[in-house]
Amino acid sequence: KEDKLQEALDAFQHAIQLNPKFADAYNNLGVVYERLGKKDQALAAYRKAVEMDPKNRPARANLKRLSGEK
């Protein structure tokens, strides 16, 4: 499981390198960080996804959930 998460992390980081405004990649990166127990990195990735695309519903929902916003 840990290997698959690391592979996913690498893939999303690479996607972001290729397209720094790829909001979905930031959101997915956040999901991977969250599954790895890295809350701060997950929050940063979700925030970046929302910054890149304020209408990105999954990223907004993930950010709200993880940050504890009402």
In tens, the pLDDT along 31-51 reads 999 999 999 999 999 999 999
Report the percentage of the chain scoring pLDDT > 70. Answer: 99
Q: Are 16 and 25 in contact (CB under 8 A)?
A: yes
Number of domains in the chain: 1
CATH code for position 30: 1.25.40.10
User: Which structural domain range is residue 23 located in?
Assistant: 2-67
Report the percentage of the chain scoring pLDDT > 90. Answer: 94
Per-residue pLDDT at 52 exceeds 80? yes
Which pTM was predicted? 0.93
Per-residue pLDDT at 70 exceeds 80? no
Here the tokens at position 52 are: 């890149």
